[in-house]
Amino acid sequence: MFELNHDWLIGAFSLSNSVRALFYLPQVIAVARSTDGARDIALSTWLMWAANNTLGAVYAGVVMHHVTIAVSFLLAALACVVTIGLALRARRRLHRRGNCLEMA
C-alpha cells in the first residue's frame, strides 16, 4: 500500500486555518466602526461559525491530539465571538440612541 507523509498537509491546514482567523479582522473593524447597529451582520451565521470552530478545536484536541490545529480553530472561534460581541454592542448603542431621540 502506498503511504503518504501527512505532516505537510497538517502543517498547511494549520497555517491556513490560523491565517483565516486574521481575515476576520476587517469584519471586526467594520463592526466596531458601525454607526447603524451593525445591521448587515447576521448574528445567527456568526454564532454557527463560532460553534463550528469551537467544535473543530475540541475535535482536533481530543480526537486528533493535535494542539496546533486545535489552537488554529480556537483563534477562528475567538474572532467570531469578538465580532458577535461588537455587533451586539453596536446594536445596543443604536437602540439607546433611538430611545434618547424619542424622549427629546
**What's the rounded mean pLDDT across residues 15-26?**
86
Express each pLDDT in 29-71 by its tens digit: 999 999 899 998 999 999 999 999 999 999 999 999 999 899 9
Give pLDDT, residue 8.
86
DSSP H or E segment with residue 76: helix 67-103
Segments making up each domain of the chain, as ranges: 12-103
Rounded to an integer, what is the distance from CA 64 to the centroid of its chain?
22
pLDDT tens per residue, range 93-102: 998 887 655 5
Q: What is the pLDDT of residue 104?
A: 42
The pLDDT value given to residue 88 = 96
CATH match of 12-103 with 3.30.2420: no
CB atoms within 10 A of CB 18: 17
Q: Does the structure show a pLDDT above 60 at 75? A: yes
Q: What pLDDT is attached to residue 100?
A: 58
- This model's pTM is above 0.85: no
